[in-house]
Amino acid sequence: MVKIAVLSDVHGNATALAAVLADARAQGVDTYWTVGDMTVRGPESERCLQLLDSVQPTVAVLGNHEQNYQKVLAADPDHFNKPKQVMATILTAYDRHQLSQAHFEKMLPLPKTVTKHVGPLTIRLQHVLPDFVSGHALAPTAPQANFDEAASGEPDIVIYAHTHQPIMRYSSRGQLILNAGTVGLPTAPRRQLGQPRAMYLILTIDERGLRDLDYRNVDFDTHRAIQIAREHHLPYFDFYAQTLSTNTYQYAPSAVAAYNAQHDLDRVARKILLENWH
């Protein structure tokens, strides 16, 4: 029998990640899998990666925010003209200045999918779809066809991330599709359902198959997490602090566009890209 902790969407929130790892140890977890977006948006991406080093995850897949490292490094022109990409450029550059060279280079070649064989089960991990690590294709209310696309091929279980909401669904062929929620940016579609707790998932698998699913919600010091972001001069601090304070998503494109315009951040992002971080 093996207990696997599935971690996703940490977003540089080391306060939440430390609480999750302590809970996982208390639950007797044997191994750790990460499903993308370990970094960016929060203030402590380097510390998050150091914490993950301490548990040595056996799986790590690419998230859309790790993919932004590749895009910004390549000066992808898309990052000039979309408000959320302007934000991603600035936050990615912020991360680049704190990440060790070893951790930065470790983020660049992450695969989009990893398939694991555990007991009798074939399990595929991916941030969204097998070939696409962003977008809203697998929002909880998305059409069944989208989830069938997510489960293409022959995995018994598909684990994805990105939505920040814990999910359990099935494909039309009966494959189990799981989402662990978010460690670092807890949000809910309705404020009444939100809670200031870090989410992760424990799979227990034995020789007969999936023995247990445990969706965990772990208390962490949100006030301390916000204070760290303030002390570390996190760009877009208000968006981050409001998300943690309200447990509702605050990064709407219209709000980001207005903030960018107010602070002339399009110019800042263009400068970052043209300099190619050198």
Q: Which helix (H) or strand (E) holds 211?
A: strand 209-219
pTM: 0.95
Domains of the chain: 2-275 (3.60.21.10)
For the chain, give me the number of helices (H) and strands (E)? 10, 10
Rounded to the nearest 10 degrees, the angle between the axes of helix 14-26 and helix 222-231 is 140
Q: What number of other Cβ atoms are within 10 A of residue 252's Cβ? A: 12
Tokens of 88: 């991603």
Check if the beta carbon of residue 104 is closer than 8 Å to that of residue 136. Answer: no
Residues shown for the chain: 278
Q: Say how far apart CA 31 and CA 21 lie, in whole Å.
A: 11
Distance between CA atoms of residues 157 and 13, nearest Å:
28
Q: What is the C-alpha to C-alpha distance for residues 132 and 150, in angstroms, rounded to an integer? A: 10
* pLDDT tens per residue across all 278 residues of the chain: 999 999 999 999 999 999 999 999 999 999 999 999 999 999 999 999 999 999 999 999 999 999 988 877 776 565 557 899 899 999 999 999 999 999 999 998 999 999 999 999 999 999 999 999 999 999 999 999 999 999 999 999 999 999 999 999 999 999 999 999 999 999 987 777 888 999 999 999 999 999 999 999 999 999 999 999 999 999 999 999 999 999 999 999 999 999 999 999 999 988 888 776 55
